[in-house]
Amino acid sequence: MKVPLGKMKTERMVPLDLDTLALVDRIIATRSQGQPLVYPSTGKPAQFLFMHPGRRLGESAVRLELNRAADESGPGNLSSHQLRHIYAMH
């Protein structure tokens, strides 16, 4: 999965395990396709995974959902750094 600009203003390709890939496929299948949006770093149209009608979700909206999911599953609020390490270990 291509992950947009982050630390050091770089993009990353992140390998996905089969369970995560199945979840991403499920999100794509159930969401509205909408129109591609301009990708900030390239200016080219792109489809973003997480959208809210007509725009991509901001970092705070994604963070709120990650925190909600973490609360429901047990570990509580986690930083994105902690989530990356947990994901990498499983």
Range of the domain at 28: 1-52
How much is the mean pLDDT over the chain? 76
User: What's the pTM?
Assistant: 0.56
Q: How many domains does the chain have?
A: 2
Instruction: Indicate if 63 and 41 belong to the same structural domain.
Output: no
Instruction: Indicate if 24 and 64 belong to the same structural domain.
Output: no
**Alpha carbons 78 and 70: distance in angstroms, whole number:** 7
Give the model's confidence band at 58: pLDDT under 50 very low, under 70 low, under 90 confident, else very high.
confident
**Alpha carbons 2 and 15: distance in angstroms, whole number:** 9
Instruction: Indicate if 48 and 62 belong to the same structural domain.
Output: no
Instruction: Indicate if 48 and 5 belong to the same structural domain.
Output: yes
Say yes or no to pLDDT of 7 above 70.
no
Give the model's confidence band at 45: pLDDT under 50 very low, under 70 low, under 90 confident, else very high.
confident
Q: Which amino acid is at 37?
A: L
